[in-house]
Structure 1
Amino acid sequence: MNITEYQQIATVQYCFPDNNSSCKKEVRTGTGNIFLFTLLSFISVCTVFLNLLVIISISHFKQLHTPTNLFILSLAVADLLVGLIVMPVNIMQLIDSCWYLGTMACIVIPLINVVSTSASLCSLTFIAVDRYIAVNDPLLYSTKITVCKTSVTIISGWSLCLFYAITVFYFNDHLLQSQISMSCYGECFTVIKYSWVIFDVVISFLFPCSIILILYAIIFFVARHQAKAVRAMSIGRSQIHAAKISNSSQTKAAKTLGIVVCFYIGCWIPYFLSSLSAESLSSVSLLWTVFGWLAYINSSINPLIYAIFYPWFRASAKCIVTCRIFDSSSSGFNLFPEHF
């Protein structure tokens, strides 16, 4: 053995040096990698912070306890899971090729990933239905959509997402510990069969997105028709003004949530298109890593959209950041600017 070969053997590092079947360790260093890891960590922290603001705002302030906001709360919880669990684990895998969290975490974390991303789209679908009823049948909206019914719907949606995730992983043998494919100790990756990839694209993306887009098309058509009808009504000036305000409010809410949907579809299309480009896909592939992070960043965008378009979110966030939320009467604060 010459000196060069000896040096190569000596510099090889293993994930678990005391285990004979340990995987080789690959640590990614360098200025470019450090910058990338710092940027992704910043995105993860911002995702957690911003979605926590949404969750605390809607949970704490009584004025925000509406059916629509409960669906937004559900969406924020799903986005929080992405920023709190999915993003940090992916950053850890980018920095170090080894998996240190054990077999159980290798099963649970991909499950959380699928549940949280599925729950995001499920919440967006519920929001679209909610806005459709609010615009199409505003007089009966308060009786059809109540806080209690909304809560039951959200719980049912999350349960369905959990069942779907377990089904997908079970039929891909990922939930069976004895059948998890690991060539060495310290490795964790998910391989999805191509038949299930197609099924997943149809069920968890194309079908709900089609429903959402159809509903929003109807919403904007109805809103435009109602606006024309209000202008043509021969009623008192005050009644016309009130009708215009109501119609404008519903349309603005629909537009804001429509923007959220557009960003969601834009962030996830590359991921799903890439998933159809190969016969077998692994969670450790470079393409999935890049498009996966583009999809994860969507969880950071949603609360930013609320901050831009929702005055109540800016007002509630200001109360939280300035610690006014700790006042005994803070839950009853008026968050709508027209009353300030």
Structure 2
Amino acid sequence: MVCEDPISVHHYKCYPSINNYLCMEPEFSLNRDDDLCNDSSNVSGITTVISSYLLCICVGFLSVLIMCGNLLVIISIIYFKQLHTPTNYLILSLAVADLLVGVVVLPFSTILVVTSCWYLKDLLCKIRGSFDAFLSVSSILNLCSISIDRYYAVCQPLNYRTKMNVHVIVVMILLSWTVSPLGVVISKWGLKPEESNRCVLFQQARTAIFGIFFYFYLPAIIMSSIYLKVFIVARRQARSIQNTTCQCKKSKAAVSKSERKATKTLAVVMGVFLICWSPFLLCITFYPLSNYTIPVPLIETFKWLGWSNSMLNPFVYGFFYRWFRLSFRMIISGKIFQGDFTNFKLF
């Protein structure tokens, strides 16, 4: 026998009993991953496997670059005493945030993209999303702290050592890491339960715009204003340095020139960060306003561009700072393991 209602064939399962057939409702799940795992054809399965391998190779290579580059920065600042400066402590904090992106966010994101049938996927998705928001906010706050450090170093050099001592730097770093969890809360704020449980690279709630404004646009405006002020003062100092004659003024000129170079380098770091993250955050901002017409794959591509920023900072330091290049060579060659070079003069 079959079920009396032919329409119900697709909605009921029939099981034989003693006298007739019993029609029962099957169990449905909101998550269709199991069906997707079982229904793929051989051709699509092969294509999926190949694309998964390519993605793993590319992301694995990116993660290795991020980890190795930022580890070089971290080891250099910790090992060489000459690099124990307030500015470098802030760079160290930024490098730790970038390192965690390569260790946690990128590998977890790759696993979520490649595997669709893993029972720990929901937990992994929550961990990835939390670390993503946490580290992004921490990076932007560390960059804000660096811009404040550069302001006092160039605009108020006489008060720099008193205003930006080690204790102040430690407080700034702690604030950068303790305020960051609010970014995780704001990223979930305003979402419905079914939306907050969905594993996506970005949230589509309109309330997310407020979080982006306070954690990206506002800090970006502040940093840009500070660096603009710094460059105006630096240009004024450069003009006055050209007229120096005595040895004392020449010594001060050399110090001022070094601070200006450091400021220019760190401004490049900030600029690279804004270039990498602006496309994604602008798309997120205008995504609800455009009635969700921006292609989602494009937004996800910009998200990966933002994560790749964590790889670029060590290259910027190595390109602009001769002492970082020297410390990198000493670490890579293993020279630091052949003796005590903590007091080695890098510059």
- Output the TM-score relative to the length of structure 1: 0.82
Query: Pairwise mapping of residues 210-229 of structure 1 onto structure 2 (< 5 A)?
Result: 210-229=221-240
Going from structure 1 to structure 2, the CA distance change for 1:288 and 1:96 (only over 3 Å counts) comes to farther
Q: CA deviation at 1:276?
A: 2.3
Partner of 1:203: 214
Q: Once the two structures are aligned, what percentage of the paired residues are identical?
A: 34
Matches within 5 A, 1:92-111: 92-111=111-130
Aligned equivalent of 1:248, options 233, 245, 257: 257
Q: Does 1:263 align with 2:264?
A: no
What is the alpha-carbon distance in structure 2 between the residues aligned to residue 101 and residue 29 of structure 1? Answer: 21
Query: Could you tell which deviates more after superposition, 68-77 or 318-327?
Result: 318-327
1:107-186 to 2 correspondences below 5 Å: 107-169=126-188, 171-172=190-191, 181=197
Alignment partners' CA distance in 1, 2:319 and 2:209: 36
Unmatched 5+ stretches in structure 1: 1-18, 183-187
What is the 5 A alignment of 1:1-340? 21=29, 23=33, 24-25=36-37, 29=48, 34-169=53-188, 171-172=190-191, 181=197, 188-189=199-200, 192-233=203-244, 235-236=245-246, 238-279=247-288, 285-327=296-338, 329-336=340-347
Q: CA RMSD in A?
A: 2.6
Q: What letter corresponds to residue 83 of structure 2 in structure 1?
A: L
Whether the 8 Å CA contact 1:70–1:150 is kept in 2: the answer is yes
Gaps of 5+ in 2: 1-26
The one-letter code sitting in structure 2 at the alignment partner of 1:263 is V
Separation in structure 1 between the aligned mates of residue 61 and residue 201 of structure 2, nearest angstrom: 26
Q: Distance in 2 between matches of 1:32 and 1:179?
A: 28
Number of residue pairs the alignment of both structures matches:
306
Cα 1:288–1:99 change in 2 (3 A) is farther
| Cα displacement string for residues 147-197 of structure 1 (whole angstroms, at most 9, x for unaligned residues) | 2220121011110011332343255367xxx98546xxxxx3466353322
SS, match of residue 332 in structure 1: coil
Counterpart contact for 2:201–2:300, Cα < 8 Å: no
Give the 3 Å change call, closer, same or farther, for CA 74–173 of structure 1 in structure 2.
farther
CA–CA distance in 2 between the matches of 1:217 and 1:194?
34
SS of the equivalent of 1:244 reads: helix
The structure with higher relative contact order (CA 8 Å, sep 6+) is 1
In 2, Cα distance between the equivalents of 1:264 and 1:98?
A: 35
One-letter identity of the residue aligned with 1:218: K
**TM-score of the aligned structures, taking structure 2 as reference length:** 0.80
- After TM superposition, the structure 1 stretch with the greater mean CA deviation from structure 2, 156-165 or 92-101, is 92-101
